[in-house]
Amino acid sequence: MENKAHALAAGLFLLLLGIALAACVFWFQGDHTARTHYTVVARSGVPGLNLKAPVKLRGVEVGWVDSIGFDPDDPRQILVGITVDATAPVSATTHAQLGLQGVTGLSFVSLEEADAQAALTRAPAGARIALKPTLLDRLAESGPLLLAGFAETAGRLNALLSDDNRAQLQRTLAKLEQTATDTSRLMAALQPSAQQLPTVLKDADTTAQRASAALREIETLAVDGRALAADLRARTGVLDRMDAAAQQVQTTSRHLELALVGDTPQRTRPLVSDLSAASRSIERAAHDLGEQPQSLLFGRGARPPGPGERGFEERLKAAAP
């Protein structure tokens, strides 16, 4: 009986020990982290995405994919169920994209924030997150358009590089080469002139200084000319007054001569004649100065030839219209 009791005790001990070990294993292998479920809605395909594929939030793994299937309400949509750590900052503006895991071809779900600077508003449990196409997806969708554009560009290049256009291009290149050669020759010919350019500029500067001095002299001469004209006008006024005085003297002498010619003694008549001659001389001088006032400064000019004198006919021809 004692042997049976010992055997029963040993069996119970082993059973309890196995249960304890199993409980420990289950405890250490179990996941006690709080999780939240979301649904990723994909309008396009999800190639390479499998169950238990990781879910990453800005590069940090926060969960996994637990279901993939079509939307029963809209079969064109694919619903991907994900389980995410409840502490992960999934906001209402978070969107999903598919990323590649190295070179295996397998995909994972990458959660990204639309605006990382905005205030964080957590998405409610079970919320739907839109799956946006990646750059490769957009390139794949626009691939036919790109191929059509490349084909059109190739056709235009073929038309541009026709035989006639290539011949015209060769002629244009030949002309450009000739132009470059002519330009080189022209530059070589202009090089001596360019070397003399500083001297020419210096001479031009000197000429400009001389021209400025000449302009100042001309301005001075203009001022002197205005002063000379004013002086001549003053002298002309004096000459007019002299002319009037001479006429008055001549008139007086004539009256005196007429008054004395009958009863003047013989010795006073020469005096009267001299007075008359002097008055006529003064009148002629005043008349000449009135016609040529510049004779006071530059001397009396030559009188024009009269009838019968040399040069009179040429004078008439020059004066004729």
Phi-psi region of 299 (alpha: psi -120 to 50; beta: other; left: phi over 0): left
Tokens representing 194?
A: 């360019």
Looking at residue 263, its pLDDT comes to 47
224 occurs within a structural domain: no
286 occurs within a structural domain: yes
167-206 per-position pLDDT tens digit = 888 888 888 888 888 888 888 887 777 777 778 778 778 8
Asked if pLDDT for residue 228 goes beyond 70, the answer is no
5 occurs within a structural domain: no
Place of tokens 């202009």: 190
Per-residue confidence band for 287, with pLDDT thresholds at 50, 70 and 90? low
Q: In angstroms, how far apart are the furthest CA atoms of the chain? A: 218
293 occurs within a structural domain: yes
Instruction: Please state the rounded mean pLDDT for residues 40-45.
Output: 87
Residue numbers of the domain that contains 283: 235-298
Integer Cα distance of 238 and 296 in angstroms = 12
- CA-nearest of 84, 97, 94 to 122 is 94
pTM for this entry: 0.39
Dihedral sign, Cα of residue 196, residue 199, residue 203, residue 209: positive
41 occurs within a structural domain: yes
- Tell me which of 102, 133, 164 is where a domain ends: 133
222 occurs within a structural domain: no
Asked if pLDDT for residue 63 goes beyond 80, the answer is yes
Phi-psi region of 130 (alpha: psi -120 to 50; beta: other; left: phi over 0): beta
Among 21-35, 48-62, 102-116, 206-220, the range of highest mean pLDDT: 48-62
306 occurs within a structural domain: no
8 occurs within a structural domain: no
Total domains present in the chain: 2
